[in-house]
Structure formats: structure tokens, C-alpha cells
Amino acid sequence: MTARTVLQEADITRALTRISHEILESNRGGSDLVLLGIPTRGVLLAERIAAVLARLEPGAGVVGALDVTMYRDDLDRHPTRTPSPTRLPAGGIDGKTVVLVDDVLYSGRTIRAALDAIGDLGRPRAVRLAVLVDRGHRELPIRADFVGKNLPTAVAERIYVRLRETDGEDAVAIESDPEGTRA
């Protein structure tokens, strides 16, 4: 199995900068904006987007983390990772525009779980979705509002997002997965 790198550090930085501008534009500014990253890489991407937002409009967007592990509908089929704590900003999410941030959008099941989790935490004014990579193959009617890169893939391929905070480098690669498992 060989991995083919499709995004490098400069590509990821450019995509996150564009997403940040799009978020500000669609929200008409950065007030009442909450970025909720889905662990693990979604949280790191949310923090990067928040840093860009702060440079563009000081005080725009606060960051939290939303663990969806126990809201997933496939717990009986896939081993779960250890849940991470959900961290909401001090002002909560009620009446705010929440932007869910994740690294890869695939079937839509993680985002469905995130929407269920948000429902238990409060009532935002609106919920939007930002992803670094949209690889297609949706199983649920979920669409990202902000996409860094659309990368159509075969079901037998996997997308690997590597971020310097956890992996020592920024890169996105596609690898053939002969067993057809998903990611």
C-alpha cells in the first residue's frame, strides 16, 4: 500500500484561511460564533481557524471540543476510542452560531452524532459544518458548509490527515485500503 500525498502544509494553511474568511462572511462577522472541534484533529483544526479569525477580526469565535463517541450509531460494530471531555466555551452555545469542525467528512454519521450531542447541550441559533476534506460517499443527507478540499475517493481508499501538533507534519494523503475499511 502506498500513500499519495494530496495536500501539503501550504495547501492546508490556504484551505483553513479560506474557510475562516467564508465563516466570517456567512456569519456577517465573528460575534456569537462558537467553533466546536470534533476530537482529535477537528479540535486542532478549530483552534487554527480561531487563530485566523482572531487575526481578521479580534474577538471573533471561541473554541470548544465536542466528543461524539457515545452518540455514534455504530458502537456495536466498531471499537470505540476513549471518550474525550466535551468543552463548551463559558458562554455556552444557546443563541450562538455553532460551526462544527472535523478533518474528514465521509458517511455523515459522525456529524449526525455531533448534532445529537449538540441537542443535549443547548439550542444554538444555527449549526454549520466546516471540514478540511470532503471525500464523498454520504450515507446520510449531510453537506458541509465550508470545505477545504473535495477529494472524491473510492470506497477502498482511506484518507489520512496528519497535523503537526499530533503527527509532526501537516499533510493529507490517500491510501488504497485492500480490505475496504473506512476512514
pLDDT (tens digit per residue) in 23-65:
999 999 998 999 999 998 999 999 999 999 999 999 898 999 9
Q: Do residues 128 and 64 lie in contact, with contact meaning Cβ atoms separated by under 8 Å?
A: no
Whether the predicted pLDDT of 183 surpasses 80: no
Nearest CA to 183 among 73, 103, 112? 103
Burial of 103 (0-12, 13-18, 19+ CB in 10 A): buried
Q: Residues 178, 2: contact at Cβ < 8 Å? A: no
Q: DSSP H helical segments within 57-152, as ranges? A: 109-121
Domain boundaries, given as residue ranges, for the chain: 7-75+84-155
Cα–Cα distance measured from residue 113 to residue 121, given in angstroms and rounded to the nearest whole number: 13
The mean pLDDT of 62-91, rounded to a whole number, is 86
Q: Residue 80 pLDDT > 60, yes or no?
A: yes
pLDDT of 75: 72
Mean pLDDT of the region 152-169: 96
Backbone angles phi, psi at 2, to 5 degrees: -115, 140
* Contact present, 30 and 61 (Cβ < 8 Å): yes
pLDDT over 70 (residue 136): yes
For domain 7-75+84-155, give its CATH number from 3.20.20.100, 3.40.50.150, 3.40.50.10800, 3.40.50.2020. Answer: 3.40.50.2020
> Where residue 74 falls among pLDDT bands split at 50, 70, 90?
confident
Quote the CA–CA distance of 80 and 123 in Å, as a whole number: 27
The answer to whether residue 79 scores a pLDDT higher than 80 is no
pLDDT at 180: 53
Confidence label for 113 from pLDDT (cuts 50, 70 and 90): very high
- Structure confidence by residue, pLDDT tens digits, 114-135: 999 999 999 999 999 999 999 9
Assess contact for 152 and 136: CB atoms under 8 A: yes
Mean of pLDDT over the chain: 93
Per-residue pLDDT averaged across 121-150, rounded?
Answer: 97
